Amino acid sequence: MRQVLLGLVQRKKSFLAQPEWRDLPWASNPDTKSQFDRLLDIYLDMPELPAYRYTIEAMSNPRQILDGALATVRDGERIALALDAWFDYFRTTLPGSLYHAELSTIDSFVDGSELGRLFPVAFHFPAFIVGQNLVYYWAALVHVRSHLCSMHAILSRLLSMLDSIGRINLPCSCAASKDPLECLRHVTADLLPAISRKDDWPFEAAKNICQSVEYFFKHGVRSLGLLSVMPALLIVKNFWGKEAPGNWDLEIAWLRDTLIRIRTSGAGIAKALG
């Protein structure tokens, strides 16, 4: 897990993405690969998404922006569909609900008497491994869906620029590509992939992660539960602090307070793990 998350930070694929590591250990019996390992396989395809986005943001040529943006949107959609398939199967492996909601009982300094708790509801899971799988599933959604939303914003700005300079002056490439989505003259917002328009997706998944933390405070195994959920919270913190539009100061303050509590609670086991 540490290597997988390091790849996200460095924005490059880990050596674990190679078939020798990803597939060979389970070659004789693929069914023995756990659902969490299968989720990590999807994580191995995620690190390069933000790297592509930063490259495209530095471009000035409309043709390069359109081609690059569409290519990385397709990559993001492929990973998003893989996450959907993972979740659909995971849900079939468990009887009953994956979690239920209760009123939160953990205070934070950002909670106030007027507004109440920032996250008044806490999710509780039938087993620790269920909560861990779901938290990392939601964290992957935050990463991938925020990428898709960002790319949709880039494409929307490109369309506005093309409209401002006049589409009639642009070359038509429909005959060559047979797809108006790839034509500077004829590409429109209605043609953009629908999956990248759902701007609320990252926020919903990020909120789910925050509402799961209380469970790990109560059901962590010698603080390992708290430490295992930290990377997911850091992904949310990066999203709210760097990627998400709008003001998320309260949410970021809540995350900082929670991360300090986790580090304090898990200090002993963290030291033992190095």
What are 2-59's pLDDT values in tens digits?
788 888 878 888 888 888 888 888 988 888 899 999 999 999 999 888 888 888 989 9
Contact 200, 107 (CB under 8 A): no
Residue spans of the domains in the chain: they are 34-215
Angle between helices 201-210 and 249-265 (to 10 degrees): 40
The answer to whether residue 271 scores a pLDDT higher than 60 is: no
pLDDT of residue 253: 93
pLDDT of residue 196: 45
Contact 118, 111 (CB under 8 A): yes
- Within the chain, residue ranges assigned H as helices are 2-10, 19-22, 35-43, 48-57, 62-92, 128-165, 174-177, 201-210, 213-219, 224-238, 249-265, 267-273
The pair of three-digit structure tokens given for residue 270, joined into one six-digit string: 């963290």
Please identify which residue in the block is written with the tokens 């589409």. Answer: 167
Residue 69: closest CA among 204, 161, 138: 161
Contact 138, 232 (CB under 8 A): yes
pLDDT of residue 181: 74
pLDDT in tens, 229-266: 888 999 999 889 888 888 899 999 999 999 888 888 75
Residue 43: closest CA among 193, 158, 144, 192: 144
Contact 48, 11 (CB under 8 A): yes
pLDDT of residue 87: 96
Q: What is the CA radius of gyration of the chain?
A: 21
The answer to whether residue 268 scores a pLDDT higher than 60 is: no
pLDDT in tens, 57-116: 899 888 888 888 888 888 998 999 999 999 999 999 998 999 999 999 888 888 876 778
196 phi and psi, to 5 degrees? -90, 5
219-223: average pLDDT: 61
112 phi and psi, to 5 degrees? -130, 160
Residue 216, amino acid? F
C-alpha distance from residue 237 to each of 5, 155, 164, 252 (Å): 15, 25, 36, 6
pLDDT in tens, 167-210: 777 778 776 666 777 777 777 777 676 544 455 668 899 999 99
Contact 69, 56 (CB under 8 A): yes
Q: What is the pTM of this model?
A: 0.86
117-146: average pLDDT: 93
